[in-house]
Amino acid sequence: MSIAATQKRGFGAVLWDYVTTVDHKKIAHLYLFAGGLFFLIGGLEAMLIRIQLAKPDNDFLSAGLYNEVITMHGTTMIFLAAMPLIFALMNAVLPLQIGARDVAFPYLNSLGFWLFMFGGILLNCSWFLGGAPDAGWTAYAPLSTTSPGHGVDFYVMGLQIAGAGTLIGGINFLVTVVNMRAPGMTYMRMPLFTWASFIASVLILFAFPALTVGLFLLMFDRMFGTAFFDVSLGGNTIIWEHIFWIFGHPEVYILILPLFGVFSDVFSTFAKKRLFGYTAMVFATMLIAFLGFMVWAHHMFTVGLGPVANSIFSIATMAIAVPTGIKIFNWLATLWGGNITINSAMLWALAFIPTFTIGGMTGVMVASVAADYQYHDSYFVVAHFHYVIVGGTIFGIFSALHYWWPKMFGRILREGLGKLTFWTFFIGFHLTFFIQHFLGLMGMPRRYWVFHSGDGLDLGNLISTIGAFFMAFGVIVFIINAILTARDAKAPADPWDGRTLEWATASPPAHYNFKQTPLVRGLDPLWIEKSEGKGKMTPAEPLGEIHMPNSSFLPFLFSLGLFVAGFGFIYQTDNKAWLAVLIGGMAFSLGTMVVRSMKDDLGYHISKEELEREAD
Amino acid sequence: MKGWMGKLRVLTLLGSIALVLSGCGRENLSALIPKGYGAETSLDLIILTAIVMLFVLVIVMILYVTVLIRFRKKKGKEDFVPKQVEGNKTLETVWTVIPIILLIIIAVPTVIATFDLADTKGAKDELNVDVTGNQYWWHFNYNGQEIQTSQDLYIPTGEKVYLNMKSSDVIHSFWVPSISGKMDVNPENENTMYIEAYEEGVYWGKCAELCGPSHSLMDFKVIAVSPEEFEQWVSDMQNVDPKAVAEGETAQEGQALFQENNCMGCHAIGSSPVQVGPNLTNFGDRSKVAGVLDHNKENVMKWIMNPESVKPGNKMTGNYPTLSEEEASKIADYLLQLQPSEITPESAGN
């Protein structure tokens, strides 16, 4: 592999490069592209929902199809859009922020991506093979266990495979942060994005196994005749709700914490101030993560758990407001007294504060059990979680993309189009979701295919639908922006006067990230060097050979095997001949593991001479 | 500056749209116009928590707007490097302790209300109704009264009525927003809640847990009448003669068709343990056909001839002989005569 990779290569070569890559920066591109694609699919599903609900008693979608669309909207947005987009950011930036040459396990990084990708494709294959899952993204039993057709089977297998990829990714980032930090990069000098990603990875490690187990139980009930959730045979459906939310609630924090990190970095960069209350921010993040495991039953207040359990979970949930409030006030204090530049990245971050505060405010409201009896499963809750997930996660992803686009692609996104995206999306978002708080309280339950003309819900739903079109417009403008930007001039290494290590290397960085591992002398290491007049990092090592991992096609093949086996699992209930596909796929995956184990792959070295020839 | 003022204006505009719309919704459906004990308890908490949280929001917004006005980059000071502040113990303590106090203000009444709404100790001395959720209709069995109804739940005003709820298939959730918050209807255990309506009226109920294609069509009504009228209704219902011959030629033919086609296999008339399909004892008095259609003969026929067109995924489709339009018309004539009581949704103010 040549370092001077600037010469034009054919499409096939680029494709092969991406399919086999183990470079965290290219895997970030893959995650971004795949997550972006699923985000568009999920967005399309959202538009179908809003068109169906534009007027009362509408028949744009049939009842059964509507349930498929809402199920796939939720599942796609959570598992196939938000998660990979977050992984894209972690991959693109986290190793750079700690001064590492790659993640701890580059091969596993690639494997994690391809498992996610094939899982996502498998899930979406259901659209063309007899219908998508229709039991809601929560897949409550017995609706999910008795749902006819194969829709829910695709849900089970798709999420199982994608979930394995996520778990692998989480473990990889944990080890990367623990083992790969540059000299001097102590834990309490790590940028907040790295900290938050680290903590989110801990959440992945503990939360995803619960989902894995739940999906296995559901799979066995649907495919192999067990009765974990079959009441008539002594099973219990509430167990699914517990298992799902023991995973599902931490998942919410997996989705939001890394973006809290993004906002911390963006605010301090564009306010030109060190993050206010760094230590408090780190511990608040940990506290949120810890409490995140203690509150799952607040999704089940109406299940009938009794007043004692409900009260305990209610108070635990409210407690999360304290560390979250600490973070909001620390961000405001970071901005206070700063010299604030407002560009696209900063607009998204600034818009997050009021939006997320409203989401947090309704969060405390829904935490109040006896009040939640009214909110639960109504549009109030729909409004609440879109305020936190869109207002937090999606705003954060947009902020991060504008902020790190130069680091990821070597180009700066255009400001004019960036602002157009922001304003249309921001206004559209509030038009769509603010009114839904009131729709819920006015008696509109969640997941309703139609409302009736006499229900008094017409105007609110119409406003909501109009807002959704604004959001869709904003997203389209963003895509145009990303495409146009490719022809712009190359971005400098440090376009924002950054503070953290990713800005100390080229945009985009060479595949080995840092020619010499930097020496970190404190929080905001680059800022320290700049304010002391040096302007660049002091190397922690002499220039020497760099050991890099080889590309590999095996992760793709391994995931492909499981993808094929997934169809075997799904269809063997119809015809036992499919067992051959199941076994064939599994055997193929096992074969790739054997190859991986037998083959010595020691990577390669970039020689000192070659490095010296490269410009800084 | 202009952009931010624009944003503020948008926010204000959004707020006022919301206020106009929050004409609070349709009476007897909206949780914002409580007509019962549970809904009132919940609304009190909703208002309390909203006020406390709005207080927090206002403080955040004041700081936020101040920051944006005062500390935005100014002409001539582009290169100004602000003081790098590490933190401030006092401030950080303040914004940790004050939220804790605010949460205690919310938590105490929350816990009190939660225990209050879950208090079912008085159940045995009061009216008990066994509620069964089915795809996609509701069955009500008045405990010890030998009365079964479907879709319309009659209750006396000013009294606690205890509902013992269980599902026959998937999970449903019982929600009458203007009377009370919701409770799930699970297949494995019985959940008990009480409802109390303050005034007479017909209150709209909805299923609030995704239960299949017709989840959004699983509407029901709670019909609250005065205790005297309720007693009257109970005795009317108990004195129904399921065998009574219908009036008029077509209705009598309809009654015969009802029997020939074995409709009773699923639908009971009069008190009966049969609850495969909705009990039809007071079908003629129902507020809606199938929970969602206006109550008239045309809609009854529409349902009988093609239930799938009304409620996709219902359990009636395909489980009875095909009926001609004439036959459906006769059966509808018969069913609409099933009006055992003068206490009806109309008399309760529908």
- For residue A130 the two structure tokens come to 């007899």
> Which domains, ranges and CATH numbers included, belong to chain A?
11-222+244-499 (1.20.210.10)
User: Taking Cα atoms as reference points, which of A348, A373, A475 lies closest to residue B208?
Assistant: A373
Query: Whole-angstrom Cα distance, residue A76 to residue A83?
Result: 10
Q: What is the pLDDT of residue B18?
A: 56
Query: Whole-angstrom Cα distance, residue A329 to residue A356?
Result: 13
Of B24, B71, B116, the CB nearest to A336: B71
Looking up tokens 């990303």, which residue turns up? A482
> Is the predicted pLDDT of residue A1 greater than 50, yes or no?
no
| Candidates B66, B79, B184, partner chain A, best to mutate (most A CBs within 10 A) | B184
> Is the predicted pLDDT of residue B242 greater than 90, yes or no?
no
B69, with CB counted inside 10 A (0-12, 13-18, 19+), is exposed
Query: Whole-angstrom Cα distance, residue A84 to residue A93?
Result: 14
Q: What is the pLDDT of residue B79?
A: 83
CB contact under 8 A, A238 and B177: no
Helix (H, G, I), strand (E, B) or coil at A149: coil
Crossing angle of helices A344-367/A237-270, nearest 10°? 140
Of A310, A311, A455, the CB nearest to B26: A455
Query: Whole-angstrom Cα distance, residue B339 to residue B270?
Result: 12
The model's confidence at residue A514, banded by pLDDT at 50, 70 and 90, is very high
Query: Whole-angstrom Cα distance, residue A120 to residue A132?
Result: 13
Residues above pLDDT 90, as percent of chain A: 95
> Is the predicted pLDDT of residue A517 greater than 50, yes or no?
yes
Distance of CA B345 to the CA centre of its chain: 17
CB contact under 8 A, B85 and A274: yes
Q: What is the pLDDT of residues A268-318, one digit of tens each?
A: 999 999 999 999 999 999 999 999 999 999 999 999 999 999 999 999 999
The model's confidence at residue B76, banded by pLDDT at 50, 70 and 90, is confident
The answer to whether residues B279 and B242 touch, using CB atoms and an 8 Å cutoff, is no
The answer to whether residues A553 and A20 touch, using CB atoms and an 8 Å cutoff, is yes
- Mean pLDDT calculated for residue range A39-64: 96
* Beta-bridge partner residues of B194: B162
The answer to whether residues B109 and B116 touch, using CB atoms and an 8 Å cutoff, is no
- Mean pLDDT calculated for residue range A359-382: 96
Q: Which amino acid is at A346?
A: M
DSSP code of residue A393: I
| DSSP H or E run through A166 | helix A151-179
A422 touches chain B (CB under 8 A): no
Q: How far is A435 from chain B (nearest CA, A)?
A: 6
User: Taking Cα atoms as reference points, which of A411, A416, A412, A423 lies closest to residue A470?
Assistant: A423
Q: How far is A453 from chain B (nearest CA, A)?
A: 11
| Closest-CA residue of chain B to A439 | B25
| DSSP H or E run through A197 | helix A192-223
The answer to whether residues A526 and A503 touch, using CB atoms and an 8 Å cutoff, is yes
Query: Whole-angstrom Cα distance, residue A282 to residue A295?
Result: 21
Q: What is the pLDDT of residue A175?
A: 97
Name the superfamily (CATH) of residues B249-336.
Answer: Cupredoxins -  blue copper proteins (2.60.40.420)
CB contact under 8 A, A442 and B25: yes
User: Taking Cα atoms as reference points, which of B131, B213, B24, B173 lies closest to residue A372?
Assistant: B173
Q: What is the pLDDT of residues A442-464, one digit of tens each?
A: 999 999 999 998 888 999 999 99
CB contact under 8 A, A372 and B181: yes
The model's confidence at residue B2, banded by pLDDT at 50, 70 and 90, is very low
- Chain A residues touching residue B207 (CB < 8 angstroms): 445
B40 touches chain A (CB under 8 A): no
A337 touches chain B (CB under 8 A): yes
| DSSP H or E run through A337 | none
> Is the predicted pLDDT of residue A4 greater than 70, yes or no?
no
The answer to whether residues A299 and A248 touch, using CB atoms and an 8 Å cutoff, is yes
How do the domains of chain B map onto residue ranges? 2-75+89-117, 249-336
Q: Give me chain A's average pLDDT, please.
A: 95
Please state the φ and ψ torsions of residue A407, each to the nearest 5 degrees: -75, -30
The answer to whether residues B312 and A65 touch, using CB atoms and an 8 Å cutoff, is no
The answer to whether residues A157 and A566 touch, using CB atoms and an 8 Å cutoff, is yes
- How many residue pairs from chains A and B have C-beta atoms closer than 8 A? 312
The model's confidence at residue A548, banded by pLDDT at 50, 70 and 90, is very high
User: Taking Cα atoms as reference points, which of A150, A20, A248, A64 lies closest to residue A575?
Assistant: A150
> Is the predicted pLDDT of residue A206 greater than 80, yes or no?
yes
Q: What is the pLDDT of residue B349?
A: 80
Q: What is the pLDDT of residue A10?
A: 87
The answer to whether residues A73 and A46 touch, using CB atoms and an 8 Å cutoff, is yes
| Candidates B12, B60, B66, B90, partner chain A, best to mutate (most A CBs within 10 A) | B60
| Candidates A438, A464, A470, partner chain B, best to mutate (most B CBs within 10 A) | A438
DSSP string, B248-311: SHHHHHHHHHHHHTTGGGT--SSS-S--SS---TTGGG-SEETTTEESSHHHHHHHHH-HHHHS
B34 touches chain A (CB under 8 A): no
Q: How far is B166 from chain A (nearest CA, A)?
A: 11
Helix (H, G, I), strand (E, B) or coil at B131: strand
A45, with CB counted inside 10 A (0-12, 13-18, 19+), is buried
The answer to whether residues A141 and A231 touch, using CB atoms and an 8 Å cutoff, is no
Residues above pLDDT 70, as percent of chain A: 98
- Chain B residues touching residue A58 (CB < 8 angstroms): none
Q: What is the pLDDT of residues B113-123, one digit of tens each?
A: 999 999 999 88
CB contact under 8 A, A376 and B208: yes
Q: What is the pLDDT of residues B16-72, one digit of tens each?
A: 555 555 568 888 999 999 999 999 999 999 999 999 999 999 999 999 999 999 999
- Mean pLDDT calculated for residue range A364-371: 96
The interface predicted TM-score of the complex, written ipTM, equals: 0.92
> Is the predicted pLDDT of residue B228 greater than 60, yes or no?
yes
Q: What is the pLDDT of residues A109-147, one digit of tens each?
A: 999 999 999 999 999 999 999 999 999 999 999 999 999
Q: What is the pLDDT of residues B82-135, one digit of tens each?
A: 999 999 999 999 999 999 999 999 999 999 999 999 999 988 889 999 999 999
Distance of CA A437 to the CA centre of its chain: 25
Q: What is the pLDDT of residues A454-509, one digit of tens each?
A: 888 999 999 999 999 999 999 999 999 999 999 999 999 999 999 999 999 999 99
Query: Whole-angstrom Cα distance, residue A69 to residue A539?
Result: 53
CB contact under 8 A, A370 and B114: yes
* A 207-266 residues with CB < 8 A to B: 231, 236-238
- Chain B residues touching residue A364 (CB < 8 angstroms): 49, 52-53, 103, 106
CB contact under 8 A, A339 and B21: no
Query: Whole-angstrom Cα distance, residue B181 to residue B161?
Result: 14
Q: What is the pLDDT of residue B78?
A: 80
Handedness of CA B167, B170, B171, B177 (dihedral sign): negative
- Mean pLDDT calculated for residue range A552-570: 97
The region of weakest confidence among A251-265, A325-339, A366-380, B14-28 is B14-28
Q: How far is A445 from chain B (nearest CA, A)?
A: 6
Q: What is the pLDDT of residue B1?
A: 39
The model's confidence at residue B243, banded by pLDDT at 50, 70 and 90, is confident
The answer to whether residues B132 and B167 touch, using CB atoms and an 8 Å cutoff, is yes
> Is the predicted pLDDT of residue A155 greater than 50, yes or no?
yes
A152 touches chain B (CB under 8 A): no
Q: How far is A341 from chain B (nearest CA, A)?
A: 6
A302 touches chain B (CB under 8 A): yes
Name the pairing type of β-strands B191-195 and B201-207. unpaired
A60 touches chain B (CB under 8 A): no
CB contact under 8 A, B215 and A449: yes
Of B25, B77, B188, the CB nearest to A237: B188
- Chain A residues touching residue B31 (CB < 8 angstroms): 374, 441-443
Q: How far is B145 from chain A (nearest CA, A)?
A: 26
- For residue A444 the two structure tokens come to 């509109």
Of B180, B208, B216, the CB nearest to A450: B216
- Mean pLDDT calculated for residue range A385-411: 97
CA atoms lying within 13 Å on the CB side of residue B70: 12
Q: How many CB atoms lie within 10 A of CB A396?
A: 29
CB contact under 8 A, B292 and A452: yes
A205 touches chain B (CB under 8 A): no
The model's confidence at residue B74, banded by pLDDT at 50, 70 and 90, is confident
- For residue A448 the two structure tokens come to 């309703």
The model's confidence at residue A69, banded by pLDDT at 50, 70 and 90, is very high
* B 267-306 residues with CB < 8 A to A: 292
CA atoms lying within 13 Å on the CB side of residue A39: 23
